[in-house]
Amino acid sequence: MNNIIATVQRFLKNKNIVTLLGVMIILVLLYFGYSSQINRAVEPRQVPVAAETIQPRTEITDDMVKLIDMPNISISSNVITSKNSIVGKYTNVNSVVPAGSMFYTDTVIEQSQLPDSIFLKVKKGEMIYQFPVSMKTTFGNSIFPGNFVDIYMKIGDGENERIMLGKLVENVEVLAVRDSSGRDVFENTSESRQPAYLLFGLPEEINLLLQKASYMSRLGVELYPIPHGGTISTEGATELSTQQLVDYIEAHSVNLPTGSVTNQSTESDPLLPTFTTTGTKTKRVTIVFPVGCGSDYTCTYQKDTGRETTVTSESARVSFSKAGTVTATVVEGNGTTHTASEDVTFD
């Protein structure tokens, strides 16, 4: 036993042997550490990829996604690795997902994050109606998207003629609440936005009926929303049925055009936006809006099929490097829409 201890002591006193042994231990540790890192990097992992090319603003369904094995090293931190986190979502605006491509966090969004998601909620055969409101008529901004309201109609001023009152439209879903600049009232809790419009999706005949009624303020006609199922006091007023209200509107109006007014002369429509195009290699289109955008009117423009941009000034400029179309819209407080388009071409 003593001989073994003495041998080990002599061995450890030999600096060359100790150094060589230390180097060998370090090399072994480096080898195993490097091998472990390499194995982890190339270890296959299932990730979802596009089974087909998916266009912008498209709902991603189960058949559009497939799982494939990818090495860990090729999966960055912004890659979505769960199929359940993709199916049912939408591709972002101007984000095309090519077939075979992975899905990234900035290309997949919720439906509510789409800038024009309200139009996805409009049912077939319906039209958007922009109903003017105020803080008072929304009960202190307590009407939210997804709520259902009834639209009541009042006739008369109560002085020169007796007030008539009744329910004109029942059980209408609120798709959005916007301020005077067209911004969502509830999307930003750090700002105090005042409600100016409730947006509904309505059948064409109801849409037209409300437009006609909105022009009858000289007859003492007022429209206002009441939460569905709620009741209002009719004391001192003559209560009318829905059909009686409809008959009154039809008797005091003529047929009005619905939808947009497109490519008409501003001489016949002073609220119609106009366009001026300059440039050769790059075309610059200047849109001129009427005075009152952001206060009296909601003014927007859209380049091709991109995002709709709200304007609060009297002009806006859009640049084109290839052929395209710009559409400008002015919406009055009563919901009347004036739209014009300009096609940009290149030689």
pLDDT digits (tens, 9 = 90+) for 280-325: 778 889 899 888 888 888 888 888 877 788 888 888 888 888 888 8
CB 306 within 8 A of CB 283: no
Helices (H), the chain: 2-13, 15-42, 204-214, 242-251
> pTM higher than 0.75, yes or no?
no
Specify burial of residue 167 (Cβ count, 10 A radius: 0-12, 13-18, 19+): middle
Q: Which pair of tokens denotes residue 59?
A: 């709902």
Q: Is 8 a residue whose pLDDT tops 60?
A: no
pLDDT at 262: 40
pLDDT at 2: 61
pLDDT at 12: 58
Task: Provide the pairing of β-strand 164-173 with 238-239.
Answer: parallel
Please report where in the chains the tokens 């993709």 appear, as a residue: 86
16-23 mean pLDDT = 68
